[in-house]
Amino acid sequence: MNTPTISVIIPVYNGERTIIETINSVQKQTFSDFELIVINDGSTDGTLRLLNEIKDSRLKVFSYSNGGLSESRNRGITHAKGEFITFLDADDLWTDDKLELQLQALQKNPEAGVAYSWTYFMEENGEYCHTDKPLFFEGNVLANLLTNNFIASGSNPLISKQAIESVGKFDTSLPAVEDWDYWLRLAAKWQFAVVPKPQVFYRLSSSSMSSKVELMEECQVKVIDRAFEFSPSELQFLKNQSLAYIYQYSCKLYLTKMPGAEGIKNAREKMAKTIKTYPQILLQSNSHKLLIKLLIKTFIPEKISDSLLHSYSKLRATNIS
């Protein structure tokens, strides 16, 4: 049997609602020389039954007891035979040309070990999505990645096997942002190439997980502290900017995931910490948008403010149904 060019790794835990659509987005790829490795991470729903019904010689399913997302990705790496490896979360999707164009980007840039694309941020029901401001970071992107996780999700990059072998596996001690940690470790050693178009549909969760905001922030700070330990001296001045980015993200989570007065209070505290850490962040457009949302939520009754912000989100979104 010929060795596939690309290994696609999909970790899944109780993903019966989305796993077939996700796998379909891989099967529809214009580049077809891949193996599809699904790591069933101890699912207790109908996920395994659905996987067993798929007829595709490229599909390989491996079942384990539950180990978490990072462990599942690592398990997938041990099975991967491809020259390049990419990951896809079980509720995300790709455009049909994702693999083809990312592979071309790496082939055109032989010094690059990672290719990434832009991201559609998709509503949970899959009906609407939006994109962020286009970014064109290429080559040595460590400084850019230290201050903004522009890769956005674990479903994005295509990585050479050589690059993966050089940095090892995902850190299973991190309960969150383990993907950002991994991209930073890659960026310290490898150049990146960009495919300048959205190719990844990242599904946003509407669940209110306010208790996890502080855990997320704690993990992000840990990742950044570690990243600056291996970063060159000329980048150390960026640390306050990196921390401010983290606090601003916590502000956004509290504002969107935690309803009522407590969410607004926590968001205000995080925004104050953001500005204190790196005052220049107020010059950035993302900060302007977040401050406007914070003011709307603070001074306008909740039902009206939520309706206004929802209407705004739909206006800037793209219908993808």
Say what the pLDDT of residue 208 is: 39
Say which range, 51-60, 209-218, 304-313, has the weakest mean pLDDT.
304-313
Token output for 312: 């705004």
- CATH superfamily ID and name for 6-203: Spore Coat Polysaccharide Biosynthesis Protein SpsA; Chain A (3.90.550.10)
Work out the average pLDDT over 3-24: 97
Tell me: the pLDDT tens digits for 137-192?
999 999 999 999 999 999 999 999 999 999 999 999 999 999 999 999 999 999 99
Domain definitions of the chain by residue range:
6-203, 210-319
Say which range, 209-213, 232-236, 278-282, has the weakest mean pLDDT.
209-213
φ/ψ region of 23 (left if φ > 0, alpha if ψ in -120 to 50, else beta) reads alpha
**Closest CA relative to residue 129, chosen from 179, 200, 27:** 200
CB neighbour class for 319 (10 Å; exposed up to 12, middle 13-18, buried from 19): exposed
Say what the pLDDT of residue 310 is: 67
Say what the pLDDT of residue 132 is: 83
Mean pLDDT, the chain, whole residue set: 92
DSSP string of 91-128, one letter each residue = T-EE-TTHHHHHHHHHHH-TTEEEEEEEEEEE-TTSSE
| CB atoms closer than 10 angstroms to residue 268 | 16
Alpha-carbon dihedral angle through residues 245, 249, 250, 251, given to the nearest 10 degrees: 100
Identify which has the larger pLDDT, 53 or 297: 53
Determine the straight-line distance between the first and last CA of the chain, rounded to whole angstroms. 39
> If residue 217 lies in a helix (H) or strand (E), which one and from where to where?
helix 213-230
